[in-house]
Amino acid sequence: MLDRKEYPMRINRYLAKQGVVSRREADKLIMAGKIKLNGQVAVLGDQINENDQVTVDRQTLQQKEAGYVYLALNKPIGIVTNPEKGQKSIADIVRYKTPLTPIGRLDKESHGLIILTNDTRITGRLLESDNANEHEKEYRVTVDKKLTPMFQKAITSGLKLEDFTRRNFSGKKNLGGFTAKPCQLTKISPTEFFLIITEGKRHQIRRMCAALGYQVEDLERVRIMNINLAGLKDGQVREIAGTERANFLRQLGL
């Protein structure tokens, strides 16, 4: 439910916030006369108030939903989700008849689960980190020395991270400091553990470990919400369908 303080808002933003379609798709439907506001055909720029009634042509929505694709990819090390000059991207290893976008990212040195889709509705819902809309992401982490009780307590209790500067092709990029949300750790071996977080700041797990004097030797994402790698080999993809897809979308409020 939207906060009443957000009203009035543009009709395309309203539809995107409600998870119906993206803003761009909403504009297309408005121009095609497929959306009504209080019983009248809506026009671009219409403002929505809290008690207004917005309806979208049901057949149009069914056609759009039938065309949505969701894939699980096991991203190999060396592949990037947001390529810069000279880097190899997901588009280089995944060929699909419909253009798909990776939701979230894994850095070049990390590997594991990435969700690819043409459903623009889920981006904000999956990546939001506010308390009302948290979604678990689970990683298998290997570090360079044995875990201590102090490390385990510190990394799970809400670790404060300072500013971080990384180098890229365009020079240096500053990543601001923040306090990580509390998370869950399950120890696998003296130097390995599963870590479940509900946010995904850039280089977050590597930064958390580094802040405690540890270096990450391997980082693999094994699960996003109810979607897991399910035996996928490096570079392999599988379709998210059936009950798995239905549960995934239900958890996102769609």
Provide the pLDDT for residue 171: 45
Whether the per-residue pLDDT at 1 is higher than 70: the answer is: no
The average pLDDT across 225-231 equals 92
109-142 pLDDT per residue, tens: 999 999 999 988 887 777 765 544 578 999 999 9
* Greater pLDDT, 83 or 38: 38
Does the domain at residues 136-224 carry the CATH identifier 3.30.2350.10?
Answer: yes
Separation in Å, CA 44 to CA 17, 24, 40, 48, 234? 17, 11, 13, 12, 45
Look over the chain and give the mean of its residue pLDDT values, rounded to a whole number: 86
- Select from 132, 89, 134, 131 the least CA-distant residue to 114: 89
Phi, psi torsion values for 38, nearest 5 degrees: 55, 40
Provide the pLDDT for residue 131: 46
pTM over 0.85? The answer is no
Domain ranges of the chain: 4-65, 67-128+231-254, 136-224
* 4-65 to CATH, choices 3.30.565.10, 3.30.43.10, 3.10.290.10, 1.10.10.10: 3.10.290.10
Residue that the structure tokens 């689960």 belong to = 113
- Select from 217, 199, 72 the least CA-distant residue to 141: 217
Provide the pLDDT for residue 175: 61
Tokens at residue 59, please?
A: 């057949």
Phi, psi torsion values for 14, nearest 5 degrees: -60, -45
| Eight-class DSSP state of 116 | E
Distance from CA of residue 227 to its chain's centroid? 12
User: Mind telling me the catalytic residues?
Assistant: 107
Q: CB 139: neighbour CB atoms within 10 A?
A: 23
Residues 6+ positions from 198 with CB-CB distance below 8 Å: 129, 134, 135, 136, 137, 181, 183
**67-128+231-254 — its CATH code?**
3.30.70.580
147-176 pLDDT per residue, tens: 999 999 999 999 988 765 454 444 445 566
The average pLDDT across 188-217 equals 94
54-113 pLDDT per residue, tens: 988 887 777 777 789 999 999 999 998 877 777 888 988 888 888 898 988 888 999 999
